Chain A
Amino acid sequence: EVQLVESGGGLVQPGGSLRLSCAASGFTFSSYWMSWVRQAPGKGLEWVANIKQDGSEKYYVDSVKGRFTISRDNAKNSLYLQMNSLRAEDTAVYYCARDPGGALKRTDYFDYWGQGTLVTVSS
């Protein structure tokens, strides 16, 4: 069974940093593109970043470029999001999500999602 379990969320002051983790199981993690998607309280979904199987390609939404860094450790079956210079507008539930393309391609939609971790940026 595919499982994605996020952790690392919490309350942080504006300008602060936080590192999110996503532990993957039930599939060959190293064969899939992975993404972070966020959802502000009561709002819609926003794709944040994704990363290629070997970490050699990474893409970000404009609003987080230069502040957030996506990474992965295939030996640990884990995905990460380092978030620096946090702003109030970064407050959201952050989901990790799997791209179903597998080793052959990137599809850019998401077939499995974690339960999410809440990040609150407030003084």
Chain B
Amino acid sequence: DIQMTQSPSTLSASVGDRVTITCRASQSISSWLAWYQQKPGKAPKLLIYKASSLESGVPSRFSGSGSGTEFTLTISSLQPDDFATYYCQQYNSYSGITFGPGTKVDIK
């Protein structure tokens, strides 16, 4: 199975900050990576797929990059609505679909 890790696990930031979250895969997954945002008590929301493709309707301050085993999600200027937990998810192989453990972005 492909294991996913994320860093940091928690990130404290202020409105307007540039924020970067890293996701690593235990083996190469090419660009088969998605990012989701989840707020407390709500379902996850798709932000990015295929490592860098922005889902329709998602603000352009969100961007994704990377390939192989290392990926990043960047929020160019953090907005009040962006305080949430972010998950990466690999979908490379049929050893299964796996998510990272999440990164909580909270208010500094």
Contacts and interface: CB of A to CB of B under 8 A. Distances in A.
A108 B44 contact: no
B49 A109 contact: yes
Nearest to A113: B43
B interface: dominant SS: loop
Interface string A48-83: 001000000001011000000000000000000000
Contacts, number: 49
B99 A45 contact: yes
A112 to B, nearest CB: 8
Interface stretch (B16-24, B62-70, B71-79, B87-95): B87-95
A110 B46 contact: yes
B99 A44 contact: yes
A44 B87 contact: yes
> On chain B, which size bracket covers the interface?
20 to 34
A44 to B, nearest CB: 5
16 contacts: A44-B99, A44-B100, A45-B89, A45-B99, A47-B96, A47-B98, A59-B94, A59-B96, A95-B44, A100-B49, A108-B97, A109-B46, A109-B49, A110-B36, A111-B55, A113-B43
